[in-house]
Amino acid sequence: MLANSEKSIADSLEVNKRLLPHMPFLLQDLWVLGSSADQIIEVVGSLKSLSPLKKILDIGCGKGAVSIQLVARYGFQAVGIDAMSPFLEEAEKKGSERNVSHLCQFINQDIREYVSNDHDYDLVILAALGGIFGSFQNTIAKMRTQVHSGGFMIIDDGYLKKGNHLNRKSYGHYKNYDNTIWELTFFGDRIINQVDTSEVSKNINREYLDLIKRRGEELISKHRELKKDINDYIRLQEEECDVLENDIEGALWVIRKR
């Protein structure tokens, strides 16, 4: 793990630094870390008729669930960026198991550092990372530097069901639907597909929460000193499930750069 990325990783996972080294254990039963992987894979398949796709970028790839499955199904070349080295080790293992290692490259780097340089991908994916780049307008500004003109951007996130602000840490980028669409298309790019992910995400989140709780109990039995940190983390995950179900309409957007 990169030392200068610890705070951003801890913030994105909603944990303190004491618990951060134990996150691979808590999340060991999860390959897909919060994103709607099946829906992403499906919509990417529909893009092949619009433009040839050869090389894709998975920002915050985690354990590589999205990029590896895309490579295995469609034969793309994929680059995944993440600052959590244990997750990348798992991604490399999964890629090897599926005989696609030669088509996958996983880079241990802070995603904000990586996107500070322009790239020329056919498709860039940002799945379930929330407001890591700030507002949706700022997010699109970063993502469009990673694809060529006519390239595609996929964001797996959502918008507020009501109101235009949510007073919760890491949720400040959420707006109502109209303002979200305005920000996503601020630079003149075109939304070519929108998929509702709410029901799928609800089921996935509850299933994952149960798995994390069981691993949390196991970890507490080995490290009593972490009991409060683990229980705090699980409580935050429970709250997040409630917020995502009650306040956020899950959506996956496919956007084509003008």
Write down the pLDDT at residue 204.
86
DSSP 3-state of 174: coil
**CA gap 172, 170 in Å, rounded:** 6
Pairing outcome for strands 121-127 and 55-59: parallel
Beta strands in the chain (DSSP E): 55-59, 77-82, 104-108, 121-127, 147-160, 190-196, 248-256
Q: What is the dihedral of CA 159, 165, 167, 170, to 10 degrees?
A: 50
Write down the pLDDT at residue 169.
76
The CATH architecture assigned to 3-198+249-256 reads 3-Layer(aba) Sandwich (3.40)
DSSP 3-state of 47: helix
Residue 184 sits at the vertex; the CA angle it makes with 183 and 189, to the nearest 5 degrees, is 120
Sign of the dihedral through C-alpha 190, 195, 201, 204:
negative
DSSP 3-state of 153: strand
157 and 133 Cβ atoms separated by less than 8 Å: no
Write down the pLDDT at residue 130.
78
Write down the pLDDT at residue 182.
98
Write down the pLDDT at residue 1.
46
Q: What is the pTM of this model?
A: 0.92
The token pair at 59 is 């920002």
Write down the pLDDT at residue 67.
95
Write down the pLDDT at residue 50.
85
Sign of the dihedral through C-alpha 116, 60, 65, 17:
positive
Q: What is the mean pLDDT of each run of 10 residues along the chain (258 residues)?
A: 59 77 94 85 90 93 95 95 95 96 96 96 92 94 97 96 86 94 98 94 89 97 95 92 92 96
The structural domains of the chain, with segments of one domain joined by +, span 3-198+249-256
